[in-house]
Structure 1
Amino acid sequence: MFIKLAWQSLVHRRGGLALAVISVAVSLFTLLGVEQVRMQAKESFNRTVSSVDLIVGARTGQLNLLLYSVFRIGSPSNNISWQAYQEVAQHPQVAWTIPISLGDSHRGYRVVGTNQGFFTHYRYGREVSLAFSSGRLFAHSDEVVLGATVARQLGYRVGDSLVMAHGMGATSFHLHDDHPFTISGILSPTGTPVDRALYVSLEGMEAIHGRDDAETVAAHPSSITAFMLGLNSRVATFQVQRWVNEYHGEPLLAILPGVALSELWHLMGVLEKLLLLISALVVLASLLGLSILLLAAVRERRREIALLRAIGAGPMFLFLLVQAEALLVLLAGAVLAFAGLAAGLWIAAPLLAERYGIYLQGMDVGGQTLALMGAILAGTFVLATIPALRVCRQSLGRTLQSDG
């Protein structure tokens, strides 16, 4: 009965109500959208690699090494010699390694030279292994494995042929058309940058740069871009890291992926807080507008208030009635905001994955989102107190006049 009365009162002023609901919906959409993208982008980055103890590359910043070796963003400052890679790989504490060689592309997607260790040891998410949706691992230097996004976007199937290009441009004038590749397999989707790359053997990577087949099978590459490694015991992580960083053969850098990710989020923390602050101010402005709307309607509601007082409604009833009206506007705006955000995330997810490597998993209503909604609810109550008290004062004044 109480909520029904508040709703009927709002419907009676539906012109202003519609504007208030739209204003609240837009502000909540902005705030929740920023929060959703922030949380899911962070989760997307964190689940990219989960089993690697150290990443080793040429000496550079640890963020740069993390970005180009794991996320395929940016370029290395230098390469690592094959000899240095072999010496680190033969360290007693190293259980396995995954070499990575970058430098070529296919229609804007990175080509990664590696070995079978990548498909055996690489993990993402909660220790999930890579799997094939069709085909198999490359077995020859002229075979290539595609990530799920590459295959889907370019319409490739197992058995198709393709040509690599030098550099990272979507359009290249330097094609390695003298060494075409046949697609041997397509990986299952992972929701990580693995989906956005093509994978060839190290021998295949060497072949497209000028060696004939006989030399390619027998030879190893002269250098690689970076490599990932797993240890026999994680207790030895810092010991091996220090040993690599002090390697005398050439300047190397070993990083812990988790530490590098923490540094990345620390650097982005100021931007995150700024975006949330701007979104919160937009919500505050919207709620202030709602308060002003309710306050402006006080004079128009004199007859309604007098009628409610005549049937026995007290000041507390009128106070709660105004609060209920504000809550209903907030609820209607929240419903529109959540529906619009769910649709927006569904539409934007493929674009963000394709262009920026950020994989969204749909609407995620977690503890942070619920905390924000709780804060907005409390703010609505506080701001709606102003018109609610005005109604109570007007009601009391009319009662005193009638008594006199």
Structure 2
Amino acid sequence: MFLRLAWFSLLSRKGSVLLTLLAISVSIFVLLGIEHIRQQAKSSFGNTVSGVDLIVGARTGDINLLLYSVFRLGNATNNISWSSYQNIQSQPQVAWSIPISLGDSHKGFRVMGTDRGYFEHFRYGQKRPLTLAQGKPFDKVFDVVLGAKVAEQLKYQLGDQLTLSHGMGSTSFSEHKDKPFRVVGILEGTGTPVDQTLHVSLQGIEAVHLNWQSGPHKKRKKAEALADLQQLEPESITAFMLGLKSKMAIFRLQRNINNFPKEPLLAILPGVTLTQLWEMMAAVEQSLQLVSALVLLASLLGLSAMLLTSIRERQREITIMRMLGASPLFIFILIQLEAMLITLSALAIALLSLVATTMLTGEWLAKDLGVHLSPWAPNASSILMMAAILLSAFLVSLAPAISAYSRAK
């Protein structure tokens, strides 16, 4: 009887009830949506690079090494000699390695020199491999494979030619115009820094700097007419990634690299360093959660105000119920039940909207923003949050319920 009476009571004021319902639905959607995106973004952020056991670079800070080797942000304090790289990657516990050579750019996009092992071993997300939307990996010295964003923004197609330049500006006056590269492949979008990178071979990086007179690269003393440019060997690289045969060897090899006798090196565990970097942004997370909680509180206070206003308008209704034998407690419970019905309906609408939104936008978010958003599903955190919402609705509706109780005496 309580439920039926509360339902028809709400229907009699459907205009104000509907607006309150929508306001609470939107605020719950925002609160739960932000929490879901926060958890998924943290997971995606931690999987920007996946399956890599160690990242090695010149001795610097852990986060700085991660930023320039994975996110292409900033610059290395020093390079690593090629002989040191060969020494470490030939260790028996190393299964594979990916060399990284940075320093050049093309119209503001970073150029990365590497080898074909990059396309075979590099992983992102939940150990997803790189896939080519068009073409193939580089094979010749002057081949280049473009990230999805590079190809999209610069409108490049397979077979187009481009030139590399020094620095990171969109316009450069130090270009290797005499040694153009040809686009042979375009990668699928990953939502990671890979999308904004041009990938060339280590031999290509060395070839464009043969007899180079200026810039950050040391002048090479080799003849430009070298019979086979494919045999070029770099003097140094910026960093490299390692995959090991056994996880048990990670810390031992990390310690050996950090104590490498030939030059000062640093080996980091990318997962651990990514977690440290994410923790630096904890204040942003907390700010978003606080704002969404305040939005929800404002909506619930609106619910309380709506019910409080209706009490004054329903004095005649309350008098009639009292004449029919309804006790003040009956009136109190009725008002609380109305508040719970509105909140539960808003919660249902918000959850359905959230599930639909995450299902429809998941692919787009993964491709363009790198946030691999799985469809929303309840977990311990969201269940606690929903319980808190219902409790908050109960508390804010105490004022109108007590007011009705007092008027019914």
The TM-score bracket by the shorter chain reads 0.7 to 0.9
Deviation at 1:277, TM superposition (A): 2.9
Deviation at 1:308, TM superposition (A): 3.4
Tell me, what secondary structure is at the counterpart of 1:91?
coil
Q: Counterparts of 2:326 and 2:173 in 1: how far apart (Å)?
A: 81
Q: Counterparts of 2:252 and 2:63 in 1: how far apart (Å)?
A: 21
Moved more, 249-258 or 293-302: 293-302
* Counterparts in 2 of 1:25 and 1:109: CA distance versus 1, 3 Å: farther
Q: Counterparts of 1:341 and 1:170 in 2: how far apart (Å)?
A: 41
Counterpart of 1:266 in structure 2: which amino acid? E
Match of 1:284 in 2: 297
* Counterparts in 2 of 1:369 and 1:71: CA distance versus 1, 3 Å: farther
Match of 2:220 in 1: none
Q: Counterparts of 1:153 and 1:271 in 2: how far apart (Å)?
A: 30
Tell me, what secondary structure is at the counterpart of 2:263?
coil
Counterpart of 1:110 in structure 2: which amino acid? R
How many residues in Structure 1 have an aligned counterpart in Structure 2?
394
Deviation at 1:161, TM superposition (A): 2.5
Counterpart of 1:199 in structure 2: which amino acid? H
Counterpart of 2:39 in structure 1: which amino acid? M
Is contact 1:57-1:253 (8 Å) kept? yes
Deviation at 1:126, TM superposition (A): 3.2
Match of 1:296 in 2: 309
Is contact 2:115-2:202 (8 Å) kept? yes
* Counterparts in 2 of 1:279 and 1:15: CA distance versus 1, 3 Å: same
Deviation at 1:221, TM superposition (A): 1.6
Deviation at 1:179, TM superposition (A): 2.2
User: 1:195-274, aligned counterparts within 5 Å?
Assistant: 195-210=195-210, 212=224, 214=226, 216-274=229-287
Counterpart of 1:359 in structure 2: which amino acid? V
Q: Counterparts of 2:358 and 2:243 in 1: how far apart (Å)?
A: 40
* Counterparts in 2 of 1:319 and 1:75: CA distance versus 1, 3 Å: farther
Deviation at 1:242, TM superposition (A): 0.7
Tell me, what secondary structure is at the counterpart of 1:380?
helix
Match of 1:113 in 2: 113
Is residue 386 of structure 1 aligned with residue 380 of structure 2?
Answer: no
CA displacement, residues 339-394 of structure 1 (integer Å, 9 cap, x when unaligned): 4897699789969976xx54353763442334322321221122213322322332
Report the TM-score when normalising by structure 1.
Answer: 0.85
Deviation at 1:184, TM superposition (A): 1.3
Q: Counterparts of 1:63 and 1:236 in 2: how far apart (Å)?
A: 23
Moved more, 306-315 or 133-142: 306-315
Match of 1:400 in 2: none
Q: Counterparts of 2:208 and 2:318 in 1: how far apart (Å)?
A: 83
Is residue 138 of structure 1 aligned with residue 138 of structure 2?
Answer: yes
CA displacement, residues 280-335 of structure 1 (integer Å, 9 cap, x when unaligned): 23322332332233223321111122233445544454334323332344356553
* Counterparts in 2 of 1:261 and 1:151: CA distance versus 1, 3 Å: same
Deviation at 1:178, TM superposition (A): 2.5
Report the TM-score when normalising by structure 2.
Answer: 0.84
Is residue 305 of structure 1 aligned with residue 314 of structure 2?
Answer: no
Deviation at 1:257, TM superposition (A): 1.1
Tell me, what secondary structure is at the counterpart of 1:200?
strand
User: 1:119-134, aligned counterparts within 5 Å?
Assistant: 119-134=119-134
* Counterparts in 2 of 1:4 and 1:133: CA distance versus 1, 3 Å: farther
Match of 1:319 in 2: 332
Match of 1:50 in 2: 50
Moved more, 112-121 or 315-324: 315-324
Deviation at 1:42, TM superposition (A): 0.9
Is contact 2:147-2:188 (8 Å) kept? yes
Counterpart of 1:221 in structure 2: which amino acid? P
Is residue 39 of structure 1 aligned with residue 43 of structure 2?
Answer: no
Is contact 1:245-1:251 (8 Å) kept? yes
Is contact 1:29-1:338 (8 Å) kept? no
Is contact 1:26-1:337 (8 Å) kept? no
User: 1:167-186, aligned counterparts within 5 Å?
Assistant: 167-186=167-186
Structure 1 or 2: more helix by fraction: 1
Is contact 1:76-1:225 (8 Å) kept? yes
CA displacement, residues 200-220 of structure 1 (integer Å, 9 cap, x when unaligned): 111112223345473742221
* Counterparts in 2 of 1:375 and 1:73: CA distance versus 1, 3 Å: farther
Tell me, what secondary structure is at the counterpart of 2:35?
helix
Q: Counterparts of 1:371 and 1:50 in 2: how far apart (Å)?
A: 31
* Counterparts in 2 of 1:164 and 1:327: CA distance versus 1, 3 Å: farther
